[in-house]
Chains A and B, each alone.
Chain A
Amino acid sequence: MNLKTKALKKSLWVYHMSGGSCNNCDIEILDCLTPRFDIERFGMVLVGSPRHADVLLCTGIVNKKCIERVKEVYKQTAKPCVVVAIGACACSGGMFRDGYQMGGPLDKIIPVDVYIPGCPPKPEAMIAGIVKVLEKLK
């Protein structure tokens, strides 16, 4: 493993993208930043622009309006980047899988590296998912 990959594993900057979620997963993502979980001790920071990001956290079924936007954000992200599908909706469509607005699930649109199911997943589950990301980066 070279130095760059080692550094990447120590400093994952996270961009949070909502593909039409119900906001529940998004709140749980923000929970990871609170003092109880404090993901900054692993070097993870929430950034505002996909250009700065190493990890795309995608929540929600990707509805039809969002398909183009999600593709665009993925294109704008500086590679190497990891895509994480958070929540039952992003993983499989969840209870909305037969809905008329369903454009996803996420892995139909962009390549997904890690799935974290749950409605919403606990912050512990997300941290466990990110550990799987670190293994994948080897």
Chain B
Amino acid sequence: MSALYILFCFVLVFLSFSISGMLAMWVDRKVTARLQFRIGPPWYQNFADFVKLYGKEVLIPEKANTFMFISAPFLGVIATTIAGTIILLVFTKQISFPADAILILYLLTIPSLAIILGGSASGNVLASVGISREMKLLLGYELPFACGLVISAVKSGATTSLGNILQFQQQNGMILGSFSGIIGFVIGILALQGKLGLVPFDLAEAEGELAGGALIEYSGILLGLFKLTRAILLITGPLFLISLYMGGVNIHSPLGIISGILKYLVVLVLFILIKNTNPRLRIDQTLRLFWGWLTLLGIVGIILAIAGW
């Protein structure tokens, strides 16, 4: 496999994931609107938003660190796309190396880091409150998310290679079918909810009191790139969950692709349900949830996985 081929895959993943991610965001907005007895935006809404942001002026605040301020949004887009590329190549069985699940775990941290870097470079007071919350949120959900990864790794015979985890699930059925698998899946859903900044954990962006939080000073295409990061993450994150607990997507057969899309929709519906039925948590409640209950649950899950349940 040449470097050129990987570059081709990267571009392909970038285009397809951003388009499908924006459609998934539209599903989110539309379902939310229907739940509130509204009509909701048309299907092309997120594309129109992005093109509009592309056409807007980019303002760089006087106090900002210009280099960091401009480069942070690109960091997020690139990291999520690389994670998506690795997952896609694992699905097509072209690449799999030891501990690539841990690599993806790291890469999925970078979008939050990009928000923290961008927010702190903008030199705004409200942005600094936003990034302090984002930082605590990041510290919060990483611990249970890692526990969830360990559950999947232990279940599939002490391996952190995504290819091996998928192979195990092809032979023995999906990990979600066991008790520890269900625990891992619940933790993964909640941690991804935090990563995506969806409602119970949207305290870093808090439109109400922080006026956009860490993104307050961003305008034009740089804000659009943050939206794009979120769109790509809305595909990459659930795909990672699907490959950890739900047996991945078999892209070699049409039936496999259809079942993969159904699996994705199940995860998306869970996100939207949690988003629409919960109010925002305070930062102390968030940390208590992640470091308290979910980490305990994760440890119980690991013990169950070791016991073979």
A residues sitting closer than 8 Å to B (CB atoms) are 3-8, 10-11, 35, 38, 40-41, 43, 46-49, 51-52, 54, 76, 78-80
CA–CA, A38 to B35, complex, Å? 13
- Taking the closest CB of chain B, its distance from the CB of A124, in whole angstroms, is 16
Of the candidates A4, A38, A51, the one whose C-beta lies within 8 Å of that of B55 is: A4
Chain B residues proximal to chain A, CB less than 8 Å: 29, 33, 36-42, 44-45, 47-52, 54-59, 207-208, 210-212, 215-220, 223
Which of A11, A41, A49 lies at the interface centre, i.e. has the most chain B CB atoms within 10 A of its CB?
A49
Residues of A contacting B217 in the complex (Cβ-Cβ under 8 angstroms): 49, 51
Q: Which residue in chain A gives the minimum CB-CB distance to B55?
A: A4
Residues of B within 8 A of A46 (CB): 207
- Supposing A7-B51, A78-B58 touch, asked if A51 and B38 sit within 8 A by C-beta, the answer is no
Question: Which of B37, B207, B210, B215 is A35 in contact with, Cβ under 8 Å?
Answer: B37
Tell which of A5, A48, A52 touches B210, judged by Cβ atoms closer than 8 Å. A48
Our count of residue pairs bridging A and B at CB distance below 8 angstroms stands at: 88
Interface residue from A6, A40, A54 paired with B33 (Cβ < 8 Å): A40
Give the distance in Å from the alpha carbon of A46 to the alpha carbon of B29 in the complex. Answer: 14
Interchain Cβ contacts under 8 Å between A and B, 29 examples:
A3-B51, A4-B52, A6-B48, A7-B47, A7-B51, A7-B54, A10-B44, A10-B48, A35-B36, A35-B37, A38-B33, A40-B33, A40-B40, A41-B33, A41-B38, A41-B39, A43-B45, A46-B207, A48-B216, A49-B215, A51-B212, A51-B219, A51-B223, A52-B212, A52-B218, A54-B52, A78-B56, A78-B57, A78-B220
The reply to whether A38 and B216 form a contact with Cβ atoms under 8 Å apart is: no
- Contacts A3-B51, A11-B52 hold; do A48 and B212 have CB atoms under 8 A apart? yes
Q: Are B52 and A8 in contact (CB under 8 A)?
A: yes
Given contacts A11-B49, A40-B29, 16 further A-B contacts (CB under 8 A): A3-B51, A4-B51, A4-B54, A10-B48, A40-B33, A40-B38, A43-B42, A48-B210, A48-B216, A49-B215, A51-B212, A78-B56, A78-B59, A79-B56, A79-B57, A80-B57
In the complex where A4-B55, A7-B55, A78-B56 touch, is A48 in contact with B38 (Cβ < 8 A)?
Answer: no
Give the residue name and chain of the A residue nearest to B223 (CB).
A52
Residue B52 contacts which of A7, A41, A76 (CB distance < 8 angstroms)? A7
Contacts of B37 in A (CB 8 A): 35
Expressed in whole angstroms, the Cα–Cα distance for A51 and B58 within the complex equals: 9
Shortest 10 CB-CB distances between A and B: which pairs?
Answer: A4-B55, A48-B211, A7-B51, A78-B219, A10-B48, A51-B219, A7-B52, A38-B38, A49-B212, A11-B48
Quick one: which of B39, B44, B54, B215 contacts A38, CB cutoff 8 A? Answer: B39
Chain B residue at smallest Cβ distance from A3: B51
- Cβ-neighbour of A43 out of B41, B55, B211 (below 8 A): B41
Residue of B nearest to A12 (CB): B52
Residues of B within 8 A of A54 (CB): 52, 56
CA distance A47 to B215 in the complex (A): 11
A8 touches B55 (CB 8 A): yes
Considering the chains assembled together, what is the distance between the CA atoms of A4 and B51 in angstroms?
6
Per the bound structure, the CA–CA distance linking A8 and B52 in Å amounts to: 5
Q: Which residues of A contact B207 (CB under 8 A)?
A: 46-48
